[in-house]
Amino acid sequence: MRQRCEAGSVAIRFPEVASIIMKMTYNQKGAISILRTFHFTPSSYAFFTVNCLRKDCVDGGFDLTQVINTMIRNRKVDAKGALSCKGTDSPTSHSDIVYEVSIQYT
């Protein structure tokens, strides 16, 4: 929560952004895929790290901060990619996401 507050709002960090939609398919070994959607408005915190859903995950999660910063800098409206969980509890990657980000500008 503290991290979120320190990130500031989307309106302050990125005044040119009207909305950000992050869609991701979360894949975990031995579980069915889950589609997760996150919608950011100017009043949302500019905090683009999504937690891993694996119960025992340590320090995991998916950080899309760099992806979104780069998109906004280049005024890109969409991007796709994949990330692996950076959790340190498991030697092999236990979960990953395939993401799609769409950004609307004012």
57 binds Zn ion (CB under 5 A): yes
**Of 39 and 86, which has the nearer Cβ to Zn ion?**
86
24 binds Zn ion (CB under 5 A): no
Of 36, 26, 79, 78, the residue nearest 57 (C-alpha): 26
Looking at 7-15, 41-49, 60-68, 98-106, which segment touches Zn ion (CB under 5 A)? Answer: 60-68
Of 7, 55, 50, the residue nearest 25 (C-alpha): 50
22 binds Zn ion (CB under 5 A): no
52 binds Zn ion (CB under 5 A): yes
Rounded CA gap, 97 and 25, in Å?
5
